[in-house]
Structure formats: C-alpha cells, structure tokens
Amino acid sequence: MSEQTKYTEDNIRSLDWKEHIRMRPGMYIGKLGDGSSPDDGIYILIKEVLDNSIDEYVMGAGKTIEIAVKETAVTIRDFGRGIPLGKVVDVVSKMNTGGKYDSKAFKKSVGLNGVGTKAVNALSSSFKVQSVRDDKTTFAEFEKGVLITKSDIEASSLRKGTKVTFTPDSEIFQKYKFRSEYIIKMIKNYVYLNIGLTIIFNGEKYFSENGLKDLLDENIADESKMFPIIHLMDEDIEVAITYSKAQYSEEYHSFVNGQHTTQGGTHQNAFREGIVKTIRDFFGKNYEASDIRKSIVSAVSIKVMEPIFESQTKTKLGSTEMGGNLPTVRTFISDFLKTKLDNYLHRNPNTAESIQRKIIQAEKERKELSGIRKLAKDRAKKASLHNKKLRDCRVHLGDMKKENRLDTSLFITEGDSASGSITKSRNVNTQAVFSLKGKPLNSYGLSKKIVYENEEFNLLQSALNIEDGVENLRYNNIVIATDADVDGMHIRLLLITFFLQFFPELIKKGHLYILETPLFRVRDKKDTFYCYSEQERRNAIKKLRGKPEITRFKGLGEISPNEFVHFIGKDIRLDPVMLDKEMTIDKLLEFYMGKNTPDRQKFIIENLKVELDLVEDL
C-alpha cells in the first residue's frame, strides 16, 4: 500500500469547537464573500448576534436595539434580560449551550441550535460580550474563539441587557467591507416583523407601525400597485398582498419567527397554494395557478414552535408542523387565507374585480405565448446540446453537491476573445460563462413575447432557469462582464434593462453584479500592480523602484487568461446593481433606455460602470 493511501489511527483527528468552525465556516454561515452580496458571511455574523436581541424583544424584554458599524468593528447592544452572569462565557464558547433549548424561556425563537454566537466568536479576530442584569455586570473577551480576559461579577448602574462587539477575522474574510445598504435592509425586515421595536443603526432610527404592509410599501411604488395592499393578521400569522403593474413574475418575502427565509420553504409553498385555492373558490372558476399568481407581490410571516430549517443559516424552512395543538403549516396557512382573504374580497369588491381582470389578462397573454414558448424551449434545448452559448460549471454538470449553489456565478460577456479569456481562467467548479453575440436588443417597452422570440434572451433565460420565476435560479451571482468603455457601458445598460423589464426580483434580491476589471497594468522588473482607477495608477508608479511599464487595457480580450485568473478569483471585485428606493422600475427604464435625453447621453459618456444606487462605505 502506498504512503498516500494509508489509513491509520494517525489519520484520526478531534477538533475542538472553534477549530471546526474556522476550518469549515461554510457549515455555519454559508459562503464567506467580501461583503458585496447580502448573503455574505459578515452579514450572517451580524444576523446571528442580532437574532438573540430580537428574541429578547419577542419575549417582552427591551424595545430598543442599538447597532453601530465602524469600518470593520460591529457593536450590538440590546436592553433585554441580559445573559445569566455565571454563563456568559459558556453561552458564546460552548457548542450546544443556550437558553433556547428551554422552550418555556424561548417559545418561538429564531435560533435553536446553540451555535450562532459561537460561530461569530470563532470567526472574529476580537470578540467581547458584556451582560448586565440584577444591577451587576461581567464581560469576557476572546480572540479567534480563545478566551483572553474574563472579568469578575461587579456592581453596575448600567441598564440591563447584552452588548456584543466583534471584528470579523481578516484571515477568514479577506478584503471585506460592510455595505450599509444590506445592513439597513436586514434591520428594516426586523422592524417590519416586530411592530413596536426600534433599531438604531449608526444613529438612525428604524421602526414600523404597519408591519408587512410597510415592507410592501417599501418595495413597490404606489403607481405600480394594481390595488391597495391587502393586510391580514391573526395569532402566529401575518400576510400582505398586492399585484404589480411593472413586473411579470411572482415576488415573495417570507419569514419564520422573524427569520427572513430567502429560499422559502414549506410556509411559502403553502402560501402560494393557499392563494390559488382561495381565489378559485371565491370566483368559482378553475383558473390556472400561474395566471392567478402572475405579478403578485406579497409577504408572509408565521411563528412556529421549534422550527426546523434546512441549514444553520436558516434561509429555508423545512418544518411541516406548527407545533403545539395547531395543524400542519400547510393547513394553518390555507385555513387562514380561506377565511380572512375571502372575507376581505367580499368586503372590497373593487379589489376583487382588479384581481379578476388581472387573471383574465394573464390568461390571454399565456395563450398567446404558448406556441412561442414551446418553440423557444426546443431551440434552447438544441442550443445547449451544442454548447454554443453556455459553458457551464461542475455544480450543474452533476459533479458537485447542490449546496455549493451559493458560490456559483454566471459571467455574461460579449465577444469570443473576452469569453475565451474568462473561460480559460475561471474556476470550472462554480463559475460558468454565457457568451453574447454583439449588443443585445433594447427590450425597453417590449412585451414578454420578445424574451422567447429573441435567441439571446431566450437562451439566457434558459441558462438561468428563470422562466417561471427566480426560485430555481441556477446561479447565485449573475455577473455582467463587459469592456470598460462606452460600448461596454451600453451593453451593461441593455442587459440591466432586460432584467429590470422582465426579472426585477433578480436585482431586488441582490443577484446582479458588474465585474470590475483593471484599467491599467503598472510594472517593472520586480513588481506588478493592477490598477482600477487613475489614482491607483499614480499610487502604483510611486511604489515602483524601476522605470514603469504602463499598459492600458482597452478590452477584456486583451487580458491574458493567466492574468484574468486574478480578477475573477479570490480578489474578484464586484459592484452590486441595486434599486434606489426613490426610483421606481418604470422611472429607471425611462431614464436609461427611453428617449435620447441630454441627461442620459451625459451619464453614459461620463460613467464607465453602472451603479443604480451608490453605496457608500461605512
């Protein structure tokens, strides 16, 4: 037997809690990332600590939570009951330790596994926890999960509660930065779900008076709503429903015990089924489910006893039972809609008429598209066999586990040389490439029919698997990779127009990015610097000891695969495309792709990268 294949007692290792978390962080917080995506690990760390403070509020302790983020340090202070002083160290450093195993203390909490703060502790270069209760306080400080300092229990005049301060470890989260936009969105979801709660973030107050109704108001402009938001509540459930004039697909915001389940789960599926059944029964007609749900924008929140999630990051509910003496999740939600929504529609006939008109219009459009869709699917299937457009990654070729989907990216690029460079330098496990042939069609003002009739759009839709919505999106990150010039800018705008027009939820959910590539290479015989701006170029020249050789990259195709690997690997720079809450989708489309106004011409000429919402670093 060779040395490589020996398997003895020496191969067996036992890791302590912090070593295991640091070696396998993905098991605890999903992907790492650099802060450019809302599901990156640094935001999960904030969420894990914040969840504990939210649970205190749910239990009736503390109406205010304070959050401060300064550069890389995060501080979260609640005014709840405070961790029992003798257990402060155990709660943040002993796995499977916490009060949430006692269902009497935390009846319907978010965190149940006793893992969250331990993961934050292990993955932080510095971590401090302080508890105040019964006019006494104590604190403990850690570095990478190792206890450094533990104070004695002392008298204190501070308000009761818990304060946690941590800095994500740069060895784990390389070159990261917090984006306030993502943190604010997380905070808003918490206050929507907890009417009466105030969260103060860097001095700014956030609270909600109308729960999920406020959430939908935040996400859809008044002029885009087909009718006023339907807002229904009962014990352990709250829903908000409307339809959008500005989008074709379904959009759901689902929550369990205050946890944003971005990947849905049993409750979201039950809600979708319940809407269809209630509408069919109300009108006494067997409408197609897709026609009923087309353009719906809704939110659903339920509270479950001891929920079961499909991962530690709690993004998808697996529970089928509500707990206690309640029926199943499916029956509970279905019965609620059957009673409450049916009653609402009887009391609001104008809303009922709007829904029926929308369904009939959707039915008409579906029938008109049916023949085209079949032909388009056949073309997409044939094209994929010849691999003309898409060079897929191993996650989708069956060679890797599906849980790696969070790390998958699809690069959309134009031209053979650019797509060739990316294809040769990509990570074949998780990175795929879709090659455009020239500039895509301007889809502004066109109907969904064009998505099937245009070969580029049809194949792109097929590659992403988004024809019936983003629930089965094949790639977590959709990256537009074009040249950093005016033509490249135009292609970006055309692609963003396509997504805004037909699949806005991809942008709303943070899946669309612009790839930043260097404008210059500055080097001498010893050192090489890749510069993304004129200022970086000047700084690089100052660092060199010899005569600099400066190359201006005019296009992606000019960057060799050996160099390109640096720009789409661990040092990748992505600019998220975001929707400014002050600008509706209609207004954005009108500005970017409407008539040739001087403002738009100036914008295209002066900006070589797209940012629909400028996100300032904290």
Residue 290 tokens, joined: 């897709």
In the three-class reduction of DSSP (H, G, I as helix; E, B as strand; rest coil), residue 490 is classed as: helix
Select the more confidently predicted residue: 263 or 605: 263
Phi, psi dihedrals of residue 54, rounded to the nearest 5°: -65, -40
Band of the pLDDT at 579, cuts 50, 70, 90? confident
Q: Which residue has the tokens 């508890």?
A: 131
Provide the pairing of β-strand 124-133 with 73-78.
Answer: unpaired
Contact 255, 268 (CB under 8 A): no
CATH architecture of 387-517+553-606: 3-Layer(aba) Sandwich (3.40)
Q: How far is CA 373 from CA 193, 449, 459, 475, in A?
A: 39, 9, 12, 22
What distance, in Å, lies between the first and last C-alpha atoms of the chain? 57
Average pLDDT over residues 295-316: 85
Band of the pLDDT at 595, cuts 50, 70, 90? low
CATH 3.40.50.670 in the chain, residue ranges: 387-517+553-606
* pLDDT number for residue 299: 97
Q: Say which range, 149-163, 280-294, 348-362, 427-441, has the weakest mean pLDDT.
A: 427-441
Contact 299, 189 (CB under 8 A): no
Cα separation, 360 vs 292, in Å, equals: 9
In the three-class reduction of DSSP (H, G, I as helix; E, B as strand; rest coil), residue 175 is classed as: coil
Contact 411, 512 (CB under 8 A): no
Band of the pLDDT at 97, cuts 50, 70, 90? low
**pLDDT at residue 112 is higher than 50:** no
Q: How far is CA 105 from CA 22, 56, 422, in A?
A: 30, 10, 53
User: How many CB atoms are located within 10 Å of the residue 109 CB?
Assistant: 25
CATH fold, domain 17-206, is Heat Shock Protein 90 (3.30.565)
Residue 295 tokens, joined: 């353009």
Torsion angle, CA of 367/371/372/375, rounded to 10 degrees? 150
Cα separation, 560 vs 546, in Å, equals: 24
Phi, psi dihedrals of residue 529, rounded to the nearest 5°: -125, 135
Burial letters 226-247, b for 16+ CB under 10 A, else e:
bbebbbbbeebbbbbbbbbebb
Average pLDDT over residues 405-415: 87
Contact 296, 250 (CB under 8 A): yes
Cα separation, 511 vs 394, in Å, equals: 20
Q: Which residues contact 580 (CB under 8 A, 6 or more apart)?
A: 588, 612, 613
Cα separation, 136 vs 125, in Å, equals: 27
Cα separation, 559 vs 422, in Å, equals: 9
Provide the pairing of β-strand 573-576 with 512-516.
Answer: antiparallel
Cα separation, 538 vs 256, in Å, equals: 51
* pLDDT number for residue 130: 97
Q: How far is CA 515 from CA 231, 250, 306, 558, in A?
A: 40, 28, 41, 16
Q: For residue 148, which amino acid is it?
A: I
CATH 3.30.565.10 in the chain, residue ranges: 17-206
* pLDDT number for residue 610: 41
Mean predicted lDDT score pLDDT of the chain: 85
In the three-class reduction of DSSP (H, G, I as helix; E, B as strand; rest coil), residue 157 is classed as: coil
Average pLDDT over residues 381-393: 69
DSSP assignment letter at 337:
I
Select the more confidently predicted residue: 337 or 112: 337
Q: Which CATH class is domain 212-365?
A: alpha beta
* pLDDT number for residue 55: 87
Average pLDDT over residues 509-525: 91
Contact 313, 30 (CB under 8 A): yes
Average pLDDT over residues 553-559: 84
- Pick the closest to residue 559 from 389, 423, 433 (CA basis): 423
Give the whole-number percent of the chain exceeding pLDDT 70: 85
Average pLDDT over residues 184-210: 96
For the purposes of burial, counting CB atoms within 10 Å of the CB of 71, is it exposed (0-12), middle (13-18) or buried (19 or more)? exposed
Contact 432, 475 (CB under 8 A): yes
Band of the pLDDT at 98, cuts 50, 70, 90? low
Cα separation, 65 vs 79, in Å, equals: 7
Contact 296, 248 (CB under 8 A): no
- Pick the closest to residue 413 from 478, 469, 458 (CA basis): 478
Torsion angle, CA of 463/509/399/31, rounded to 10 degrees? 150
Cα separation, 42 vs 40, in Å, equals: 6
* pLDDT number for residue 615: 34
Contact 363, 356 (CB under 8 A): no
**pLDDT at residue 617 is higher than 50:** no
DSSP-assigned beta bridge partners for residue 136: 133, 155
DSSP-assigned beta bridge partners for residue 126: 167
* pLDDT number for residue 380: 67
Select the more confidently predicted residue: 45 or 418: 45
| Strand order, beta sheet including 259-260 | 230-234, 237-243, 296-302, 251-256, 259-260
Residue 17 tokens, joined: 């809690």
**pLDDT at residue 118 is higher than 90:** yes
* pLDDT number for residue 4: 57
Select the more confidently predicted residue: 49 or 5: 49
Q: Which residue has the tokens 């005049």?
A: 157
Contact 77, 163 (CB under 8 A): yes
Average pLDDT over residues 347-376: 90
In the three-class reduction of DSSP (H, G, I as helix; E, B as strand; rest coil), residue 495 is classed as: helix
**pLDDT at residue 548 is higher than 50:** yes
**pLDDT at residue 138 is higher than 70:** yes
Phi, psi dihedrals of residue 412, rounded to the nearest 5°: -100, 115
For the purposes of burial, counting CB atoms within 10 Å of the CB of 347, is it exposed (0-12), middle (13-18) or buried (19 or more)? exposed
Cα separation, 297 vs 229, in Å, equals: 9
Cα separation, 484 vs 573, in Å, equals: 14
Select the more confidently predicted residue: 305 or 75: 75
Highest mean pLDDT among 24-28, 387-391, 466-470, 518-522 belongs to 518-522
* pLDDT number for residue 508: 84
* pLDDT number for residue 418: 82
Residue 573 tokens, joined: 């720079």
CATH 3.30.230.10 in the chain, residue ranges: 212-365
pLDDT tens readout for residues 14-23: 667 788 888 8
**pLDDT at residue 588 is higher than 90:** no
Q: Which residue has the tokens 């959008």?
A: 244
pLDDT tens readout for residues 73-91: 999 999 999 999 999 999 9
Q: Which residues contact 350 (CB under 8 A, 6 or more apart)?
A: 227
* pLDDT number for residue 613: 40
Residue 255 tokens, joined: 């929550």
In the three-class reduction of DSSP (H, G, I as helix; E, B as strand; rest coil), residue 319 is classed as: coil
Q: Say which range, 41-55, 240-254, 506-520, 583-597, has the weakest mean pLDDT.
A: 583-597
* pLDDT number for residue 166: 98
In the three-class reduction of DSSP (H, G, I as helix; E, B as strand; rest coil), residue 232 is classed as: strand
Select the more confidently predicted residue: 389 or 240: 240
**pLDDT at residue 111 is higher than 60:** no
DSSP-assigned beta bridge partners for residue 129: 140, 164
Residue 331 tokens, joined: 């029956």
**pLDDT at residue 33 is higher than 60:** yes
Band of the pLDDT at 591, cuts 50, 70, 90? low
**pLDDT at residue 42 is higher than 80:** yes
